[in-house]
Amino acid sequence: MQRLKKTFATLHANYARKRSLFVARVNDKGKRGRLSFYRHGRQVIQELDELMKEITSALDQRKKVFRDPEKRKAVKVKIKRAKILYKDLVYTTRSHWLLWVEVIGGALLFAFFLRAFCFGVYHSPSGSMEPTVLVGDHLVVNKILYHLKKPKPGDVVLFDSLGTEYDSSSKFKYFWQKHIGVSIPFLNLKEGASNFVRRIVAIPNDVIEGKVEDGKPVLYRNGQKINEYYVNTYPLLAMHKKIGFFESERVGLFHIPDFLKSKYKLVLYSYDPNKDFYDQPFYKIDCRNVLRVPGSVDIQCSVPCTPSVNDQGKVIDTFGPYKIPAGKYWVMGDNRKNSVDSRVWHFVDRKFIRGKVRFIIWSVDTEEEYWMFECVKHPLRFFNKLVRWNRFFKKIK
């Protein structure tokens, strides 16, 4: 009974303190012509006033209430009803700005939950998965799937950079870095990991081996040669692409951030030699940006399906045989001539894999860090030529 009385005392004090505010806001809604809110508010206040008097009177006779189970039950029902009415009054009389804060905040929290734990949209900044995934594709990643089943060979997956060290000093900092990833130095919150997209070639307990046969790289899994239909067979064209806005370091008193500075970027794009530059299937190519062989008019172009070498001149397509340990995976890019993958890293730990790439939701042909920069610089060209309408909602196989 003492607990019941304490609960009601708190409710009664809160209502008494805010009653005048409730009445003023209900009357204000009536003056603004919102009659349904006005009538409802007045009805709730009237019922709540009556309940407060009845409960106060009953609790003043606590000996009779305590001895009679029916009266005690009736008091509990009335207090429960009073709580409901009080919450209703708080909800219906809150200000418009608070309503918008709740709606927008709720939407943002829901969107964050979906992105962090269910589905995420990620931008592809490199051509390591051409022609399956192009630079500027925005990918939908299913993060639920691998909680229900294990990754399998052929899956295109998104995973965190293998060099990522998560802040394990607290659960909150670990959660922030892994799922939010925005750096806030003064709160000692670290930036999240960069992401990679590659295709799983071998899973735990598989034996993987890379060879060069007849001048072409091939893979063997568990002694069987893999038919890799997805590997890029197009040559790679070397180009310079200009990105950014500002040529100078400063504009007046303001320092220009690096991502806004104008610069040239060396890129390697999949190129169909049977088609003209202006009619390419993957990227819009400006012939003025194509790099030529020094002292010649020939374009700089790599030959597809040939062995790749590292900085030391070693062929990286020859490796193994390796048995994949438990909890590890062997991943490779479809664009073998322009991909850093397990040929360099070796194994990828399961904990780094975020999910399976399901489809391309939309795509823009740009090297800019933020696609909207391209829209600002070339609004007409952006919609007519740079947006790849034919790749919207394209399924990843």
Same domain, 85 and 187: no
Residue 381: inside a domain, yes or no?
Answer: yes
Helix axis angle for 69-92 and 35-60, nearest 10°, is 150
For residue 132, give the nearest of 307, 282, 353, 289 by alpha carbon: 282
CA–CA distances in Å: residue 182 to residues 163, 177, 260: 18, 7, 19
For 70, list phi and psi in degrees, rounded to 5. Answer: -65, -40
- Does residue 367 fall inside a structural domain? yes
Do 166 and 54 have their domain in common? no
Buried b (16+ CB within 10 A) or exposed e, 174-213: eebbbeebeeeeeeebbebbebbbbbbbbbbebebbbeee
For residue 340, being part of any structural domain is answered with: yes
- Helix H or strand E encompassing 35: helix 35-60
Residue 87 domain-assigned? Answer: yes
Please tell me the distance from the alpha carbon of residue 192 to that of residue 114, in angstroms, as a whole number.
17
Do the domain assignments include residue 293? Answer: no
Cβ atoms 159, 173 nearer than 8 A: no
254 assigned to some structural domain: no
Task: Provide the angle, in degrees to the nearest 10, between the axes of the packed helices 2-31 and 69-92.
Answer: 30
Neighbours of 232 (CB within 10 A): 22
| 124 and 75 share one domain | no
CATH at residue 190: 2.10.109.10
CA distance linking residue 288 with residue 286, whole number of Å: 5
Q: Let me know whether 181 and 88 are in one domain.
A: no
So what's the pLDDT on residue 330? 97
Whether 328 and 229 share a structural domain: yes
> What values do phi and psi take at 65, rounded to 5?
-65, -45
- Closest CA relative to residue 85, chosen from 11, 35, 24: 11
Distance separating alpha carbons of residues 60 and 364, to the nearest angstrom: 72
Tell me the pTM: 0.74
Q: Which of 63, 94, 125 is the last residue of a domain?
A: 94
Question: Do residues 319 and 187 share a domain?
Answer: yes
Domain range holding 90? 2-94
Q: What is the mean pLDDT of each run of 10 residues along the chain (397 residues)?
A: 78 88 86 84 90 83 66 82 88 77 82 79 91 95 92 94 77 77 74 87 96 94 94 94 82 77 90 91 91 86 90 90 96 95 93 93 91 86 91 94
Pair (121, 216) in one structural domain = yes
> To 10 degrees, the CA torsion angle through 74, 80, 85, 91?
180
If one counts the domains in the chain, the total is 2
Q: What pLDDT, on a 0 to 100 scale, did the predictor assign at position 364?
A: 94
Same domain, residue pair 25 and 120? no
Residues 46 and 122 in one domain: no
**247 inside domain:** no
Tell me the one-letter amino acid at 339: S
Position 64 scores a pLDDT of 59
Is residue 253 one of the residues assigned to a domain?
no
Q: Say yes or no: 337 and 374 in one domain.
A: yes
